[in-house]
Amino acid sequence: MEEPAVVTRGLTKRYGDLVAVDHLDLELHRGEIFGLLGPNGAGKTTTILMLLGLTEPTEGEARVLGLDPTRRPLEVKRRVGYVPDAVGFYDQMTGRQNLRFTARLNGLNGFAAEERIASLLEQVGLSDAADDPVETYSRGMRQRLGIADALVKDPEVLILDEPTVAIDPEGVAEVLELIRRVSRERGATVLLSSHLLHQVRTVCDRVGIFAAGRLVALGRVDELAARAGVAATTLEVAVDGDPARVEEALRALPGVRAVERDGRDPRRWVVAADGDPRPALVRALAERGLVLLHLERREEELDALYRRYFREAEPAGAGRGTR
């Protein structure tokens, strides 16, 4: 079997007490488009920097195209294109001049370089603006120039940090289509990071959901959406009646994992369960003649993530608090 394009094993980065990336195990197949997803501060950029050899792991290891980025950063940089979230260009220079500069840095000169640059500008839809200064470009145009810039060296892996952030919807569609084309036509492996799954989901073959430095879910978007439908639930419940009987009723619920007193009020409880035990809870209390005063689904971190990212995939009414 072909070696994966990117592998990480127990990859960890600590900044003092803060664990930015916590024992990450990941494998990216050759030619796939992989989305590293998570809210701001989840550790996505730190992971990318470790893959590029721009920061050293505290623990664990990474291999990019079989290379250790810590030991062979130059080779990794030669074969991996990187588009940071804020792409830096010489603003007074034109798009073409900026690409020429990158080409020269990569040992490409003369006619071959000019031809390649023209073709890249064409591919990213910037032929008409090629000779305008970059300071006149929109954010979307800069992003597309960033992709062209990363493609100058014809990389086997393309890494993009938040490629769709701060771009208007039309620009987002163009950037995603470009990523798809790069993957298809060049067979490049693409790793993109985003905090907006709903934007990038259509383009990703697989995604990993990252929260506080840990990978909390990994798979195809449809698989994860299906799994999110049965994500664990935490309920805040208030019941009028004998606490011992209330506890007995709550503990008998299907999929129940924990039942705890809230502490602030003897009538209040917190129930954690697999699936959604709310219909069973309402029935069980009614059967015992106990009065349900309050029932609310708590927004757990993971749950909130799923709800935000997989809103469209959620069955109607699922996950909503019942009051």
**Interface positions with ligand ATP (CB under 6 A):** 15, 18, 20, 38, 40-46
Cβ closest to ligand ATP, residue 38 vs residue 319: 38
Q: How far is the CB of 40 from ligand ATP (least distance, A)?
A: 3
Q: How far is the CB of 106 from ligand ATP (least distance, A)?
A: 27
Amino acid at 225: A
Cβ(172)–Cβ(199) below 8 Å: yes
Cβ closest to ligand ATP, residue 46 vs residue 98: 46
Q: Which two tokens stand for residue 152?
A: 């100058």
Q: How far is the CB of 37 from ligand ATP (least distance, A)?
A: 9
Classify the C-alpha dihedral 266-272-277-278 as positive or negative. positive
Cα dist from 38 to 43, 45, 107, 226, whole Å: 8, 11, 37, 18
Q: How far is the CB of 49 from ligand ATP (least distance, A)?
A: 8
Cβ closest to ligand ATP, residue 32 vs residue 162: 162
**Alpha carbon of residue 234 to chain centroid:** 24
Cα dist from 166 to 29, 138, 283, whole Å: 29, 10, 48
Cβ(190)–Cβ(151) below 8 Å: no
Cβ closest to ligand ATP, residue 20 vs residue 117: 20
Q: How far apart are CA 146 and CA 133, in angstroms?
A: 14
Give the helix/strand (H/E) hosting 61. strand 59-64
Cβ closest to ligand ATP, residue 41 vs residue 241: 41
Q: How far is the CB of 85 from ligand ATP (least distance, A)?
A: 7
Cβ closest to ligand ATP, residue 88 vs residue 321: 88
Cα dist from 282 to 236, 241, 297, whole Å: 13, 14, 13
Query: Helices (DSSP H) in 124-277: which residue ranges?
Result: 139-151, 169-186, 197-200, 221-228, 243-251
Cβ closest to ligand ATP, residue 46 vs residue 164: 46
Q: How far is the CB of 180 from ligand ATP (least distance, A)?
A: 22
Q: How far is the CB of 6 from ligand ATP (least distance, A)?
A: 17
